[in-house]
Amino acid sequence: MAEIPKLLYVAVADDNGDVFRYTRSLLQSTLQLMGCKARHAFKISRRVFDEVRSECSADEMAIIGAGKLTSHALKKQSDSESEEELIQHSTEDKLGTSNSVPFELYKRLTTVVVSRDTFVDIVCDALSSYKYVGPNQRADLVLACRIRERKESVTVLLCGTSGCGKSTLSSLLGSRLGITTVISTDSIRHMMRSFVDEKQNPLLWASSYHAGECLDPVAVAEAKVKRKAKKLSGISRSDLRKGHQIILRTRIMIATLQIQDLRLT
């Protein structure tokens, strides 16, 4: 029996012919995006690759890697490859070397093509073994895959006052969710300043520490009044009735104690 070659890529094929190549690290970040812990995502991704590899013999992997993964699919997949890989390929093309040919052949021989449904089923089974079970498990995985494959986008907006830890939280979220682009408030403010004059919107041109000085005092007063009214409206009549009863009982107890003191004297 021939030795099964090392599996480096799992190419997920859609019904329309699109193919996206997953590595273990990319699958691990996808699992973290849908809420898995880092150590569990590492183990689940390894289990998925081992299961796909065990279901294919060496001859099947050679046939699948060289046959089903056509040049048209590879051309689509090249858009999602890393920048270093693209730079390496372009450099080799400029030099006229033939190193890319054996590399491409090696990549095909270490790739297994599976359908989208099969891939989702295998990953969901691996998630279930680590107690990641929920009513929307399959939908969450499909959405996470679409985000990783750049078919969907996600934006996380962090709001808060200066010094509350937005930058720290954004870096933690970025590393956890695999988000590579983090835009600071200063960058957004600087971009918006190019569209609005300082006289039209002085608040936009003020720093975060002096923004309160540019606010309209009338609008601030109205906001405070609405806030107090909202707090008062949250107190029900039953709460007021209970409060009156407590006050009345307290007064009765105080009066009783005073009468007892007078009798003792």
At residue 261, the pLDDT reads 60
Amino acid identity, residue 186? Answer: D
At 88, list the tokens.
């390496």
- Tell me the C-alpha distance between 1 and 193, whole Å: 69
Residue with more model confidence, 236 or 23: 23
Least confident range of 38-47, 148-157, 245-254? 245-254
Q: What is the overall mean pLDDT for the chain?
A: 76
At residue 202, the pLDDT reads 83
Q: What is the pLDDT of residues 12-28, one digit of tens each?
A: 999 888 899 999 999 99
With bands split at pLDDT 50, 70 and 90, how would you rate the model's confidence at 66? very low
Give every strand in the sheet of 9-13, ordered side by side: 19-22, 9-13, 111-115
Q: Where are the domains of the chain?
A: 9-148, 153-182, 218-264
Q: What is the pLDDT of residues 187-217, one digit of tens each?
A: 888 888 888 888 888 888 887 777 777 777 8
Q: What is the pLDDT of residues 93-131, one digit of tens each?
A: 544 444 566 777 777 778 888 899 999 999 999 999 998
**Inter-residue contact 99 to 41 (CB < 8 Å):** no
At residue 47, the pLDDT reads 94
User: Taking 80 as the threshold, does the pLDDT of residue 52 lie above it?
Assistant: yes
Name 114's bridge partners.
12
At residue 96, the pLDDT reads 47
**Inter-residue contact 160 to 166 (CB < 8 Å):** yes
